[in-house]
Amino acid sequence: MKFQVPRGTRDILPGEVERWQRLETRTHQTMAIYGYREVRTPIFEATELFVRSVGEATDIVRKELYTFEDRKGRSLTLRPEGTAPLVRAYIENAPVRAEIPARLYYMGPMFRYERPQAGRYRQFWQIGAELLGSAKPEADAEMIDLFRSILWDVGLKDVTVLLNSLGDSVCRPRYREAIRDYFTAHKEQLCGDCKERLDTNPLRILDCKVPSCAPVIAGAPNVLDSLCDPCAEHFGAVKRALDGLGIRHEAAPRLVRGLDYYTRTVFEIQVAGLGAQNAVGGGGRYDQLVKEFGGPDTPAIGFSIGMERLLLATVSSAAGTAFAPDACVVALEADAAIEAQELARRLRGQHEAPEDREPLRVVVDVAGRSANAQMKWASKTGARWAVFVPKGSDGYAVRDMALGKDEARQATQEGLRRWLLERRDRVEAQR
């Protein structure tokens, strides 16, 4: 029997995984610089958590959840996004709430039963940040600045922030009615899905990509004209704050996003080179969600970035580096295998003198190869140096594989380790 990776999922293999690791490392650094701390929530949650937050009428809840019953008949769902789980954890854990505002982030896989295509998968990874406890426009600006900073880190500097406001509990219901009336009057021109949305989720019609809906959508009332004074003021202040930070933005009155918890600010960042799936990430305010989940009244804002999309967009700007060891240990005699392993461990030096330098990457044959075969293998690994388990007491021989040159023998293991570290520094400095 032959198995294949499930549809819409993928293996991330050596050669590519280094780019992921680099993105992860940089993201952890950036989050720390901005004062955000990581939260790791479970991969699955009670189904109701997503129904109540993402929204019963959304595509995510209606069509895309991976839901199952456990052995006791509880309905659980693989998380389709990270905001609802994070809010649950925030309410459940007082220490996380102690800091106001709380600056939190997460990184991990999400699951949506979508039609797979480039940049769209059934298991995909998100980086997400959430700021809970501030209703101020400065919080909105910090979020968007952090988002942009993560993109800058990976070389994506030419980005457009699309900005909109969906209003609050005062002005949104009015807008919803206006939209519903407008689209009801043009019902015949709408696609089947949008006819359904008229009853369940009329705002989502604005986001429909079916070409026949486009002319009707173009004539729909503009949400930005219908904001109440406080929402309009907030929106204006966010725009001014972004101007102040030198972040380019564009008003996008048709941007409604696919999740129901948003209030006021919503945003998406688009980057070139992603084709149809050009949103690398998005987010917005959700001032009611914490309260709706039974927590204290806590305005909040956040975003998520799709990691596959981010990496797709940077493919040309940062090539992956394959893993190459610094040194291969070669045992010239068959019975020296354990000695070779011991030497490799000493050269890695990990548990000895701690230092700032990156430890040497050292590999050793564990496949019982002959001395000749070990030499061939050593050159295939891309290691710069081959080091040899000594015969008798003549010290440690080293060969520079790149130059094909034998180097001076080193008397001790520690001497050999230091020599390799110094040589590596020199080679790196010349690069």
Residues lying near ligand HAM in the complex (CB under 6 A): 81-83, 112, 114, 119-121, 124, 126, 128, 130, 258-259, 279-284, 302-304, 306, 308-309
124 vs 385 by CB, closer to ligand HAM: 124
140 vs 308 by CB, closer to ligand HAM: 308
286 vs 388 by CB, closer to ligand HAM: 286
82 vs 101 by CB, closer to ligand HAM: 82
Closest distance of CB 380 from ligand HAM, Å: 35
Closest distance of CB 190 from ligand HAM, Å: 23
Closest distance of CB 224 from ligand HAM, Å: 20
Closest distance of CB 307 from ligand HAM, Å: 8
Closest distance of CB 82 from ligand HAM, Å: 6
Give the Cα separation of 253 and 268 in Å (integer): 12
Closest distance of CB 60 from ligand HAM, Å: 7
Provide DSSP, 247-288.
--EEE-TT---S-TT-EEEEEEEEETT-TT--EEEEEEE-TT
306 vs 349 by CB, closer to ligand HAM: 306
Instruction: Give the pair of three-digit tokens for residue 363.
Output: 């590999």
303 vs 388 by CB, closer to ligand HAM: 303
60 vs 344 by CB, closer to ligand HAM: 60
Q: Are 184 and 220 a contacting pair, CB within 8 Å?
A: no
Give me the torsion for CA of 14, 17, 19, 20, rounded to 10°: -170
Give the Cα separation of 57 and 376 in Å (integer): 61
Q: Which residue is nearest to ligand HAM (CB)?
A: 306
Provide DSSP, 131-156.
EES--SHHHHHHHHHHHHHHHHHTT-
Which residue do the tokens 């019902």 mark?
A: 187
108 vs 221 by CB, closer to ligand HAM: 108
DSSP-derived secondary structure letter, 242: H
Closest distance of CB 352 from ligand HAM, Å: 44
Give the Cα separation of 222 and 226 in Å (integer): 7
H helices, E strands: number in the chain = 15, 16
Give the Cα separation of 419 and 302 in Å (integer): 49
Closest distance of CB 266 from ligand HAM, Å: 8
Task: Tabulate helix, strand, coil % of the chain (nearest 5).
Answer: 40, 20, 40
Residue burial 280-300, b: 16+ Cβ < 10 Å; e: rest = bbbbbbbbbbbeebebeebbb
